[in-house]
Amino acid sequence: MKKQDSLQLSAYLIIDKKKKKQILSKEEINFFIEEMVKGTIHDYQVTAFLMACFLNGLNEKETYYLTHGMLNSGFQFPVFDKKTIDKHSTGGVGDKTSFILGPIAAAAGVKVPMIAGRGLGHTGGTVDKIEAIEGFKTQLTLKEFSELLMKYGLVLIGQTGEIAPADKKIYALRDVTATIDNVSLITASIMSKKLAEGASGYVFDIKVGNGAFMKTLSQATELAKSMNKMAKLSKRKAISFITDMNQPLGNTFGHSLELIECFEILKGKGDKRLTSLSVDLAAAMIQLAGLATNFAKARKIALEKIADGSALKELENLIERQGGNPKVVSNYELLPMAKTQTVIKAKKSGYVAGWETEKLGLWLIQLGGGRVQSNAPIDFSVGVYCHAFVGDKLTKGQEILTIYHHDHQLEKVNIFKDKLEKEFLTISSKKVKALPLVYKTIK
């Protein structure tokens, strides 16, 4: 930015302009981001800016400028090659597809650069889950990250401060100022980090429902279109799936249990909905990478990589390369697991009509399966196995949930048991339709 341009700009004038619902220029947004990272713009000014953006909105160009301003605040890889494709999910309860689709896509020849996050609110984090494997190293240098990706085609690390440091600062302030749920701010936050990874395309899994951040289909659709647009404006390929989060995804939620479920699916077993969605997402990655001419052929390839064992082998190799014991995929005793199990059974017959999914996720945090504070440790050993899903017929006394917990938590589990059919689960006397898995696909 030219010196004379910066003299005509100030945080005050930019905030005032957006407060008046005026359109910000590329220079104004870049100035604000650059000065914020330097520390010459104070937190209270950033907060005012975010609230003005939240209330008055950002148009497509402003969202693009904000995304790239945040992207340019840190390190970014150039696009590795056209076969480098990443997936991003907006998160939910039991959302564990990364551990399935990543190995499938890698086995098919896709390079998969996973820079993943930790748990947020009621949702579990990919990095937290993989760290249930003792010794697995998620904190690698960016040099190590790129070398592993180019040599092996699959790598999984935690977010690093070198990528989009502006987003880290902005997100922390959004988190405490009620400015999280804005499509433009969400898009800029996600894409500023994703564009830095060196992928040529993205598959977005936008969750919708009572266990998602996007509660309605219209909200999820708006976000999907925004994410796709930002990718394409940035000369990347993209496809978005809007998928259900009105109940846990798969049978389990809780770190060790979720890993075991992923291992089982890569062995050709496990929950059909989780398998189907993981295969769909992997197929989209294979297609975007140019390794199949259409989605049907890509899906066939994905299923073959499960059937021939090559996807499971990719996951074993990933675990070994990053310091974990690859035998964990066959010996589940290597994972921490709470010794006490409490089975909760139905008090009446009927049909499962609905789960309060977000509440389920928040309750697991009370057992230690998530964080109350950002630096708190996680108990990988606790979790929940879900036996009943929306549309299922229940008979009185049938198993609904199995809780994995410690002996000293029995009282807390019993309280939950008593409240289950009042606060967490709806059982109807009338037949209920099963929920769709994928509501729509947006290209």
User: Cα–Cα distance between 271 and 269 in angstroms, integer?
Assistant: 7
How confident is the model over 142-163, as pLDDT tens digits? 999 999 999 999 999 998 889 9
- Which residues is 89 bridged to in the sheet? 205
Q: CB count, 10 Å around CB of 343?
A: 12
Write out the two tokens for 287. Answer: 């297609």
Q: Is 280 a catalytic residue?
A: no
Q: Cα–Cα distance between 155 and 134 in angstroms, integer? A: 17
**Model pLDDT, residue 8:** 60
Q: Among the options 189, 240, 256, 381, which is catalytic?
A: 189
Alpha-carbon 304 to chain mean position: 25
Least Cα distance to 82 among 197, 198, 228 occurs for 198
DSSP string, 55-98: HH---HHHHHHHHHHHHTTS--PPP--TTBEEEEE---TT--TH
* Sheet with 237-244: strands ordered across: 85-89, 201-208, 237-244, 438-442
157 phi, psi to nearest 5 deg: -130, 165
Residue 3, pLDDT score? 43
With pLDDT > 70 as the criterion, what percentage of the chain qualifies? 96
Please work out, in degrees rounded to the nearest 5, the angle formed at the alpha carbon of residue 357 by the alpha carbons of 356 and 358.
100
Joined tokens for residue 134:
């003792």
Of the candidates 193, 273, 305, 417, the residue annotated as catalytic is 193
pLDDT number for residue 1: 47
167 in catalytic set = yes
pLDDT at 395: 97
Domains of the chain: 3-57 (1.20.970.10), 85-166+179-329 (3.40.1030.10), 338-428 (3.90.1170.30)
- H helices, E strands: number in the chain: 17, 13
Q: What is the pLDDT of residue 157?
A: 93
Residue among 86, 128, 167, 379 flagged as catalytic: 167
Q: Give the pLDDT confidence of 389-435 residue by residue, as tens digits.
A: 999 999 999 999 999 999 999 999 999 999 999 999 999 999 999 99
Residues of the chain under the 70 pLDDT cut: 1-8, 119-124, 372-375
Verify whether residue 174 is a known catalytic residue: yes
Query: For position 125, what pLDDT does the model report?
Result: 83
Specify the pLDDT at position 116: 85
How many other CB atoms are found less than 10 A from the CB of residue 267?
A: 14
Say which of 87, 88, 194, 237 is annotated catalytic.
88
Kindly name the residue from 83, 96, 122, 174 that is annotated as catalytic.
174
Question: Residues 437, 249: contact at Cβ < 8 Å?
Answer: no
Place of tokens 């609905």: 354
> Quick one: pLDDT at residue 2?
47
CA distance 230 to 238: 9
Check residue 390 and give left, alpha or beta (phi > 0: left; psi -120 to 50: alpha).
beta
In angstroms, the CA 245 to CA 24 distance is 35
Taking the C-alpha atoms of residue 325 and residue 317, their distance in angstroms, rounded to an integer, is: 10
378 contacts: CB under 8 Å, gap ≥ 6: 119, 128, 255, 368, 369, 370, 371
